[in-house]
Structure 1
Amino acid sequence: MTTRKLSRRDFLRITGLAGGAAALAACAPKLTETPMPTEAAVVATEAPVLPKKAADLLNAAGVPLPGSPDNPKGWTTALPDVPGQYPLVEPITITTARPTDSEVAFLPEGDDLDNNVWTRSMAALFGVNFVNKITWVESDEQAQKFNLAMAANDLPDILQDVPDDIFVQMVEADMLLDIGPIWDQYASPKWKATVEAAGKEAWRHVTVNGKRYGIPHVQDAGHDDVILWVRKDWLDKLGLKAPETWQDVHDTAIAFAEAKLGGPDTYGLLANKEFRKSWYGSIDPLWCGYGISMNWGSFGWSKAADGSLEYDGIKPAVKEVLALLNQWYADGVFRKDFYAIGPDELTPDLASGRCGLQFNAVWGANRASVSDTGAEWLFLDVPAGPKGRFKQTESPWVGRFCCPKTFEHAKEWIELTNWRIELEETVGSRMHGWDGINYNITDGAYEPTDAEWSFWAVGPLGTRSGGYHSPSILGEMMNHDLTAWKEIPEDQRDAFQSAQFADPV
């Protein structure tokens, strides 16, 4: 049996009932003893707390609704009802530690990470204010700030992507909240079903001795798995076939470079100083084709014939790949200074049309390369190597959101995330951001701005490093939209729908 203290409201209600009973008894012909109603009986007679309409709460707070319901070419975002206990009568503040960079800073004038349309929405709907206590751009900065916060025993309430070594230190110092039981009690059935389907994989980054010291950080499945992109318009100009083998990749790259189809600085294949596996311009498929596993910026580990783990950086085949890359560089396959260029410096090469082949993920043929150069990209499977066609994939369960033991609002954070899942990750909800902030509709045409609202969000969904409740939800939503919207006549599509079908990427 659970007990709780009587609130002032409960006390006045009960004493009011008792007073009324006494007055009635004084008027009755015979005095009878009336038992005092128990707290449970009083609670049982209370009306149920009904959900609230999110649009009403936002309108009352003067916060704009997402979507463009008043535009002839607009749409309405489906806003889930807010649980009846929200917004909190006494607002709370949750402090955070999260990544940021120049792209996150694309905010409307007067707004910042602590005060923007997303934070104002959460305050209006839930009575929860988010304050960014620690931000970082590079991992070294993150580690330094986390270590200082640990030393001062002053950790923010939500710690995003705690590095492995710091996570271990926090657990050993007994600084983290075992959030598992709270998540079990308050996470929505939809959220639970996704995590349970992943089994132990979902919780492996946060579980120590059976305790779950965080909530899983989930990325889009296959988000960084590369395919081969080729400039089809260049193939057509030179009368070439799409490359199928690694020799074809080499020959096509040389043909593009010699023809200088992208100007005097044209080169063939995108690559960078992290010449193994990188987040942009990766060439890990070549290494995999020789039976060598890759990690981010380093060699990986694989199972040896005797079942033990073997470091792939010492395999004889490494010399073969290095010799091949050396020859390709001499032949002119790569940019002449690729060995000094980081992956984050390569996007201008595509936007300016200097390069004709790239190993990148599904987002590789970026919009700028099409709009700026008229590029027509063809995507292909990676070629097979001497050992066959091997491709690497990363687990979508990539990290953790942790909380210090002093965090008192884990329940509210989880219930707020339940609502966000319904809004942001439900097929057909049409959450594309806010008109005039994240996009504009000009003469009936949808034009995205540089502001990405999900970068301002806090918690398992959104943020700069990406996050979802399900690794497959992005694909599910895209498949639904492209299938369902295809049936809508072109002249009846709204601005966003038209933009998706007009996107050459």
Structure 2
Amino acid sequence: MKRQLISRIALATVVLGMSIAAGCTKAEDSPATSPATSPAATKAATAVAKENDRTKFDPPVTITAAIALKPSDKLRNGDTPENNPISRWFKDTLGIATKYQWVVTDASALETKIRLSLTSGEAIPDVLSVSGTVFEDLVASKKIQSIDEAFEKYATPRVKESYKKNPEVWNLVKRNGKLYGLPTLSNGIVGNTVMWVREDWLKKLNLKAPTTVQEYEAVLDAFTNNDPDGNGKKDTYGMAFGANTGYHKPTMNFMTDASFIFGQDQPYQWLKGTDGKLQYGSTKPSVKDALGKLNEWFSKGYISPDFGTQDAAKAMADFTSGKAGIAFAPGWAGGWPVGTAVNEAKAKNLALDFKPYPIPAGIKGEVGRQASPPSYGNYVFREGFTHMEAIFKYWDTMYGCSVEDAACPFANGKGEGYDYVMKDGKPDWKNIPEGTLSLNAYQLMSPGSGTAPTNVMSGPNIYQRVAAGKKDNIFEQKLAAENGQLTIDGFAVAFQQLNKDVQSGFFGANTPTMKEKWEQLIALEEQAFLQIIYGKQKPEYFDTFVKQWNDQGGAQITKEVNDYTASLK
């Protein structure tokens, strides 16, 4: 479970510019008042925490943090991690200064640094971005504070509303009835798959994009047997499928997975049953039928004979190079690798036509896909840190940018000369003389994963608006300029099926039996799934797997998961 979370966080970092030190339409109306009080550091007290409050802390407040800097996180014009366009705005406008106590290279290095501090007694920074077992260790060490009182006092109405509409994220940081961190809020479509199809193959064979398993199977057959590339050879297959995930989940990969076939009964998730209790999705009866269908497709040559050893990149390369006709991947794949393949083909005067479609219904006739995590990490705050009012002013400012607030100080970009330049009084995002450089790593905190969090916007998502040609506000214009059309279309399609996402019902730390047995159980699961798909075992072997899973610790884990979930109510 930990490895999967780390990989998802890393993926979001690459795609959306989230960092260890960081991270539409009109926002729905939020409450006009709140019991929160203004920061004590301000001279004029107010009754509520104000949105876009530009009252400056005097004297300035300094917040210590950690920062992860990759080789690509470069700066210009003599700027430094503590003195750059982002930090200068917050210091000059709000009186909030940032000092980096730790500088590391990646999430793993930060985890190591935190663990060393716990054993050595070294003081941790005021703010850290953490998740998984490191979060649990920090809670147990009592080195971080609960934020219940600070959230109630300093969070603005719109920030409170964002969590009210995504309440499940609090389970990530709720321990012993208290909140020990501030979770980021995902926009819901970071990793959500769409069905990428060779549109030119569909047209050549006079086919339509499939919406059911039966239609999908017919397209797979045609792409495998009807020479869709017109070279007179039987050298294509229907579906790119990379089962070598690295975390024992062969049917779920960040690209080229097969999750759609399971519909609402998604493996690897904790799903609520008819009795209201959570059940591990991989043990649900319909999974047997879905695995059997994948075996049929393998036997008929619809998927690569090497799918079990192919990772996502290799399987996706089969799709972009013309060996496979369909691949399930997130919307961002429209940039890389799909968009990259299109551009490379154009340079050779060749034509490749890809198009994203909604995923078809699964084995039971219902649409379902693995949901993106509701959060990609949590910010925690040192015990004894007394400037939580500054934290929430920073948070509200960046949150406003994610919901397209016209008052966002970074509407044009994070820094002139980095991700935009001004030409004739307007921002230009494409023609930056020295090339584009991202400043995302230099944000102290980022409330989410790029665009607006799930459930807080009314009307079409910003990707849907831009896909439809709307470029009225600065946020739409910026999105259109910074992304290729395939990426925009991909995310727009992903948003269409947001209500079909299957989210796990368990967000807690590993239970006692999980710590002891989970690696063994997921290895058992991976072996069973692959044996059935390869045909080394008949689908009925699934029943044997379920019994083994329960007997070897799964039943006890299920009890512990339900006990933990019940304790949160």
Question: By the TM > 0.5 criterion, same fold?
Answer: yes
In structure 2, the CA distance between the partners of 1:81 and 1:244, relative to structure 1 (3 Å rule), is closer
**Distance across 2 between alignment mates of 1:110 and 1:330:** 61
**Distance across 1 between alignment mates of 2:387 and 2:172:** 22
1:368 aligns with 2:349: no
SS in 1 for 2:308: helix
Choose from 441, 444, 447 the match for 2:430.
447
In structure 2, the CA distance between the partners of 1:308 and 1:427, relative to structure 1 (3 Å rule), is closer
Superposed CA deviations along residues 235-257 of structure 1, whole A, max 9, x for unmatched, are 11333222233344344345445
The more displaced of 417-426 and 444-453 is 444-453
SS in 2 for 1:240: coil
Task: Give the corresponding residue for 2:362.
Answer: 385
1:470 aligns with 2:453: yes
1:405 aligns with 2:391: no
Task: Give the corresponding residue for 1:84.
Answer: 55
**Distance across 2 between alignment mates of 1:487 and 1:176:** 44
How much has 1:218 moved relative to structure 2? 0.6
Superposed CA deviations along residues 215-274 of structure 1, whole A, max 9, x for unmatched, are 121110243332322121221133322223334434434544563749998653232223
Structure 1 or 2, whichever has the larger Rg, is 1
SS in 2 for 1:340: coil
How much has 1:405 moved relative to structure 2? 0.4
Q: Where do 1:75-474 residues align within 5 Å?
A: 83-86=54-57, 88-90=58-60, 92-96=62-66, 105=73, 108=76, 116-125=84-93, 126-131=95-100, 133=102, 135=104, 137=106, 143-153=111-121, 154-163=123-132, 165-198=133-166, 200-253=167-220, 255-256=222-223, 259=227, 261=229, 267-272=237-242, 273-274=244-245, 275-288=250-263, 292-294=265-267, 299-304=268-273, 308-315=277-284, 317-343=286-312, 352=321, 355-366=324-335, 367-373=339-345, 374-392=351-369, 393-394=371-372, 396-397=374-375, 399-428=377-406, 430-439=411-420, 446-447=429-430, 451-461=437-447, 466=449, 470-472=453-455
In structure 2, the CA distance between the partners of 1:455 and 1:339, relative to structure 1 (3 Å rule), is farther
In structure 2, the CA distance between the partners of 1:382 and 1:423, relative to structure 1 (3 Å rule), is closer
Name the aligned partner's letter for residue 241 of structure 2. A
- The answer to whether the 8 A contact 2:421-2:429 is kept is yes
Superposed CA deviations along residues 109-150 of structure 1, whole A, max 9, x for unmatched, are 866655543334334433412426264646x65544432222
In structure 2, the CA distance between the partners of 1:137 and 1:483, relative to structure 1 (3 Å rule), is same
Task: Give the corresponding residue for 1:63.
Answer: none
Name the aligned partner's letter for residue 470 of structure 1. P
Name the aligned partner's letter for residue 421 of structure 1. Y
**Distance across 2 between alignment mates of 1:353 and 1:110:** 46
**Distance across 2 between alignment mates of 1:485 and 1:109:** 35
In structure 2, the CA distance between the partners of 1:334 and 1:175, relative to structure 1 (3 Å rule), is same
Name the aligned partner's letter for residue 98 of structure 2. N
- The answer to whether the 8 A contact 1:252-1:268 is kept is yes
How much has 1:427 moved relative to structure 2? 4.2
> How much is the aligned-residue C-alpha RMSD, in angstroms?
4.3
The more displaced of 476-485 and 314-323 is 476-485
Task: Give the corresponding residue for 2:552.
Answer: none
Aligned residues: 412
Name the aligned partner's letter for residue 252 of structure 2. K
In structure 2, the CA distance between the partners of 1:497 and 1:472, relative to structure 1 (3 Å rule), is same
Name the aligned partner's letter for residue 384 of structure 1. A
**Distance across 1 between alignment mates of 2:428 and 2:67:** 37
How much has 1:211 moved relative to structure 2? 2.0
Superposed CA deviations along residues 339-380 of structure 1, whole A, max 9, x for unmatched, are 334336666556655543122233343343443345443333
Task: Give the corresponding residue for 2:522.
Answer: none
Task: Give the corresponding residue for 1:503.
Answer: 485
Structure 2 unaligned segments of length 5 or more: list them. Answer: 1-41, 346-350, 490-569
**Distance across 1 between alignment mates of 2:478 and 2:277:** 52
SS in 2 for 1:193: helix
The more displaced of 165-174 and 340-349 is 340-349
How much has 1:177 moved relative to structure 2? 0.8
In structure 2, the CA distance between the partners of 1:96 and 1:313, relative to structure 1 (3 Å rule), is same
- The answer to whether the 8 A contact 1:114-1:131 is kept is yes
How much has 1:284 moved relative to structure 2? 0.9
- The answer to whether the 8 A contact 2:196-2:355 is kept is yes
In structure 2, the CA distance between the partners of 1:107 and 1:280, relative to structure 1 (3 Å rule), is farther
The more displaced of 208-217 and 475-484 is 475-484
**Distance across 2 between alignment mates of 1:49 and 1:315:** 56
Superposed CA deviations along residues 25-83 of structure 1, whole A, max 9, x for unmatched, are xxxxxxxxxxxxxxxxxxxxx99699xxxxxxxxxxxxxxxxxxxxxxxxxxxxx9762
Name the aligned partner's letter for residue 294 of structure 2. L
How much has 1:319 moved relative to structure 2? 4.4
Superposed CA deviations along residues 144-181 of structure 1, whole A, max 9, x for unmatched, are 44322222233232221321x33333223322111221
**Distance across 1 between alignment mates of 2:236 and 2:98:** 50
How much has 1:214 moved relative to structure 2? 1.0
**Distance across 1 between alignment mates of 2:54 and 2:310:** 50
Task: Give the corresponding residue for 1:71.
Answer: none
- The answer to whether the 8 A contact 2:182-2:379 is kept is yes
Task: Give the corresponding residue for 1:13.
Answer: none
Superposed CA deviations along residues 463-492 of structure 1, whole A, max 9, x for unmatched, are xxx36773346865456667894679xxxx
- The answer to whether the 8 A contact 1:114-1:132 is kept is no
Question: Percent identity among equivalent residues?
Answer: 21
Name the aligned partner's letter for residue 471 of structure 1. T
Task: Give the corresponding residue for 1:19.
Answer: none
In structure 2, the CA distance between the partners of 1:473 and 1:268, relative to structure 1 (3 Å rule), is farther
- The answer to whether the 8 A contact 2:201-2:325 is kept is yes
